Each structure stands twice: as C-alpha cells, then as structure tokens.
C-alpha cells in the first residue's frame, strides 16, 4: 500500500496561549477592569461598540440585570465554572462544558442560549439544542488554547495517515476540541469523552484490542492510559510540527495509544514542588485535575474532573485543608462556599484561564442588548453534516 506521509504544520503558538501570562499576578484580586483598561494590555479580543468600553462594573451589573428582566424566559445563560464572579453570578445554571450543553438542550422554551464559556462549548450546545434555539458566545475571540493546538485540518491529515497505516486505530477526542474533530470521531467509529468518563471511553476500545488516537490533550490521554495499565512505552506523543508526528513506522505499529501534543495552559502550571509544599508545609490534602502532568497527578492525593473536585472538597470534613490544582476562579469560589475549610490554589502566582477571562461582563451586556433590540450577535452555528456526525460521537459517549 502506498501511504502518503503526514506533513508537519508550521510552528505557531495560539494567541490564547500567548495571552495567558498577561493576567498572572501575585495576589488573588481578580476584580474586573473596564474593557478599555483590558484592551490597553494588548489583548486580541473582539471589538465592541465604544459605549461599552468605559462602562464601570457597577453600570454593567445594573444593565445586565435590567436586560435579563426585559428578555425574560426566552433567555437562558450558561456559566462555566472557570468564569469570573462578575459573569457567573448572572448564570441560570453553572457547570462544566458538557453538563451545560445538556442543560441547554432541556430548556426547550429558551430561544436564546448565551454560553459564558469558550467557542467549542458553544458549538457543543448548538449540536445538542433544537433548530429554533440560537446559541450565542459573548466574545467570539474566546477560544481555548488546548483546542487551538489541534486545528481540525491537521487532525484530519494525521488521522488519514495513521488510519491508513494501521486500521486498528480508533479516534477519541476530549470535549475540548472543535466540532469538526468531534465529527471525525463520529464518522470513524470513535467518540467524545470528558475528564470524568475518559477511563470508560478508553477501556471500551482497549478491551477489544483496539489502539487509540487521542486528541488534543496529551496529559489527560497519558494519565488515562496509564491508569488502565497501559505501559508508558506504549504511549506515544504525536507532534504535529514533525514529519509523521515525529514517530517511526515501528513506533506507530507498537503503540497502544497515540496522544496529540496539546495541553492546558492553566493545568500545566502546577508542579510537584507545589504539591510537596502544600503537603509538607501546610499539611493539606492535594487534589488536581487530570489535565495536569503525570508527575503532578502521581504526587497528589486525589485526581478528577472539575465536578469531582467540587464534590470531594465540598463534602470533606470541617477543618480540613485543601491544596487544589485547577483554575483560580473555581478555587476562590470553593473557598467562599466552604468557610469551614482552608482552601488554596497550589500555584502562588494567580493565573486565571485567559480564554475564559475573555468573557468580560461588558460582552455579556452587549449580546443581551442585541437580543432585546431584536439582533442576534455572535451566534455560533455548526453545519448540518458536522452536527450529525458529532452527535453520533456524543451519543456513543452517553452509552458508556
């Protein structure tokens, strides 16, 4: 068989990754600035009408409340756990990305679904909601650095190469990916997974002797495979910047799991040293997200999804001490909701998720003003074929 090689893509760093450091600080004061102040730091956010640039947080707060009351039951606002407090307080429901998309699909009377999250989340909501519902993303520049590391065309090329080289591979994609990649998985016998059901997704195929090509987070893929007993030597990283992923034919043949070279800008900041300091100096239990490196996961007491972290910490004993390795807005919220416990972020340098941070309250007000005026601003729409195949991949996940 004549197999074409995979041609590497040009080395580039997503803008979302570059902006991450812009919001890191030594204290935990995450108070929102005006949009005008935010733009001065050089961020590449979506432009808005001038009237929103100088509005104070108090003015925006008052106007969002007023718009919500005017629009009424036609509006349903979703707030991801990583959103800043000034935004998430307006959410009708909060949760992780898939939970929010499912909740939106149940709200049949809501014509406008405003997703305070990032682009791939809004796409998933559009896939699951009905045709008469409009999914809106307040800031269209709110992507996801991890998802941006796996452009759909590059993943398609890599899949074409690997699947033609070995027909035993099955594609699995993390929820943090484009609708096009979810569609690819649906077309090719694979599925979508979340951090909470990744083990079930991997086991479904590994138990049948299948190999897995996992997109786009190498750390979740590696941690999941190792937890199921796959040897580290059988897990290979696909580097999209190298010919044939930087792998030899023999490595592709012998691998059980290929993981795309992507990562989360927030969770890869956590280190083993931070875990040891939390344990030894603060006598804390440590819980981290599986998007952290395997070294951090192995040195922690607990590892699990965002919902798992919330559940474990919230139901722990009064007086317990917790060092948490996940996004700072969620950690701060958990601390406020659990005053009987000591809760802190492992990283002393406070770095909110730069992509979630792009949902500034002024953007939320802008799209609500549009709805009230009969305009749909920033609607996210997935084409029909992509919707169908993505839904297949999502349904396979639900069957787990």
Residue 270 contacts residue 346 (beta carbons within 8 Å): yes
Q: What is the pLDDT, as a whole number, of residue 43?
A: 83
Q: Give pTM, 2 decimals.
A: 0.91
Q: What is the pLDDT, as a whole number, of residue 1?
A: 39
Q: Low-confidence residues of the chain, pLDDT below 70?
A: 1-4, 9-31, 350-351
Total number of domains in the chain: 3
* Structural domain contains residue 92: yes
Which residues constitute the domain of residue 252? Answer: 147-265
Q: What is the pLDDT, as a whole number, of residue 2?
A: 46
* Structural domain contains residue 21: no
Last residue of a domain, one of 265, 288, 311: 265
- Considering the domain architecture, whether residues 129 and 171 belong to the same structural domain is answered as no
- Considering the domain architecture, whether residues 154 and 252 belong to the same structural domain is answered as yes
Residue 204 contacts residue 212 (beta carbons within 8 Å): no
CATH code of the domain containing 300: 3.40.50.10800
**Residue 86 three-state SS:** helix
Q: What is the pLDDT, as a whole number, of residue 167?
A: 84
Nearest alpha carbon to residue 76 among 27, 34, 111: 111
* Structural domain contains residue 28: no
CA distances 40 to 6, 45, 59, 84, 141, Å, are 41, 11, 20, 20, 16
Tokens in use for 182? 């979810």
- Considering the domain architecture, whether residues 284 and 256 belong to the same structural domain is answered as no
What is the rounded distance in angstroms from the CA atom of residue 346 to the CA atom of residue 324? 6
């Amino acid at each position: 068989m004549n197999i074409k090689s995979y041609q590497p893509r040009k080395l580039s760093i997503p803008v979302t990754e570059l902006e991450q450091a812009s919001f890191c600080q030594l204290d935990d004061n995450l108070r929102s600035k005006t949009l005008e102040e935010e733009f001065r730091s050089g961020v590449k956010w979506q432009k808005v009408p001038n009237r929103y640039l100088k509005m104070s947080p108090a003015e925006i707060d008052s106007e969002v409340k007023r718009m919500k009351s005017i629009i009424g039951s036609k509006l349903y606002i979703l707030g991801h756990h990583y959103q800043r407090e000034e935004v998430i307080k307006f959410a009708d429901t909060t949760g992780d990305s898939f939970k929010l998309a499912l909740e939106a699909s149940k709200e049949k009377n809501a014509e406008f679904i405003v997703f305070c999250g990032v682009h791939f989340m809004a796409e998933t909501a559009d896939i699951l909601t009905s045709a008469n519902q409009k999914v809106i993303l307040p800031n269209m520049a709110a992507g996801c650095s991890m998802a941006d590391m796996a452009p759909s065309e590059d993943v398609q090329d890599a899949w074409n190469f690997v699947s033609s080289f070995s027909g035993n591979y099955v594609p699995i994609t993390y929820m943090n990916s484009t609708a096009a990649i979810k569609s690819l998985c649906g077309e090719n016998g694979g599925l979508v997974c979340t951090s909470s059901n990744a083990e079930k997704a991997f086991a479904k195929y590994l138990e049948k002797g299948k190999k897995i090509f996992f997109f786009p987070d190498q750390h979740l893929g590696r941690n999941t495979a190792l937890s199921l007993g796959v040897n580290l030597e059988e897990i290979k990283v696909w580097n999209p910047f190298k010919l044939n992923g930087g792998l030899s034919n023999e490595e592709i043949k012998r691998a059980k799991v290929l993981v795309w070279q992507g990562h989360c800008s927030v969770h890869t900041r956590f280190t083993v040293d931070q875990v040891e300091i939390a344990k030894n100096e603060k006598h804390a239990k440590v819980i981290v997200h599986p998007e952290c490196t395997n070294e951090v996961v192995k040195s922690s007491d607990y590892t699990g999804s965002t919902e798992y972290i919330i559940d474990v910490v919230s139901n722990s004993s009064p007086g317990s001490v917790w060092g948490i390795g996940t996004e700072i807005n969620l950690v701060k919220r958990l601390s406020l909701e659990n005053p009987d416990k000591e809760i802190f972020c492992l990283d002393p340098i406070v770095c909110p998720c730069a992509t979630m941070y792009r949902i500034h309250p002024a953007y939320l007000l802008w799209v609500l003003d549009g709805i009230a005026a009969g305009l749909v601003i920033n609607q996210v729409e997935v084409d029909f074929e992509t919707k169908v195949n993505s839904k297949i991949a999502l349904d396979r996940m639900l069957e787990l």
